[in-house]
Amino acid sequence: RTEAVISNIHGVVNMHMLRTRKSGADAFADVHIQVPPNVSVSEGHQIAEAVRHAIIQEIDEITDVTVHTDPEDDAVAKPCNHLPLRGELLETLEKQWGNLEITKQLDRVNTHYLNGKIHLELFLPLNIATTHADEIQQLKSLTQSHPDIEKVDIFYY
């Protein structure tokens, strides 16, 4: 029954590791939900809160739920715990980029840790997309040469 409640929540891709336990008349649940890997942290949190609320509302015995939000099914995906955190990664990338002027135009860098690798999203101003195409390609190539990075997407705003 809990699985049916969870699967009806928009944004839940999958669920795994559902555990329940009883203490007197109360039941407690612990579940991992998988959300699309490109959603924001706040959207993932919102989906998890919707799952928690729905379970408590729909299943009378359950009084508390812990929902873990994952971008992938960690039962089958390669672990990411060996990968550098954002600060260390950016420090390394800045060395790789050297004096590449285009990096001063970077507005935002999003990191996604998926299946044992890092996917990066780089955000640059639209007005430099055509005027600095060679430098942008160089930035992408240098970034992709990092051994932990699998994918680099560049977005313009």
Q: What is the pTM of this model?
A: 0.85
Residue 113 neighbours by CB under 8 Å, 6+ apart: 71, 80, 83
**Tokens 């873990």, residue?**
68
- Res. 74: pLDDT tops 90: no
Same domain, 53 and 94: no
Count other C-beta atoms under 10 Å from residue 136's C-beta: 20
The residue range of the domain holding 93 is 86-156
**CA–CA distances in Å: residue 70 to residues 20, 104, 142, 155:** 19, 32, 29, 24
Same domain, 66 and 92: no
**Tokens 């015995």, residue?**
61
Give the ranges where 2-157 is alpha helix by DSSP (H): 2-7, 41-58, 86-97, 133-144
- Using pLDDT thresholds of 50, 70 and 90, give the confidence band for residue 1: confident
Q: Where does a domain end: 70, 95, 128?
A: 70
Q: How many domains does the chain have?
A: 2
CATH for 129:
3.30.70.1350
Residue that wins the pLDDT comparison between 25 and 11: 11
Same domain, 92 and 141: yes
- Using pLDDT thresholds of 50, 70 and 90, give the confidence band for residue 76: confident
Does residue 37 fall inside a structural domain? yes
d(C-alpha 73, C-alpha 56), whole Å:
24
Write 103-108 long-range contacts (CB < 8 A, 24+): 103/139, 105/132, 107/157
Enter the DSSP assignment of 101.
Answer: G
Does residue 14 fall inside a structural domain? yes
Does residue 79 fall inside a structural domain? no
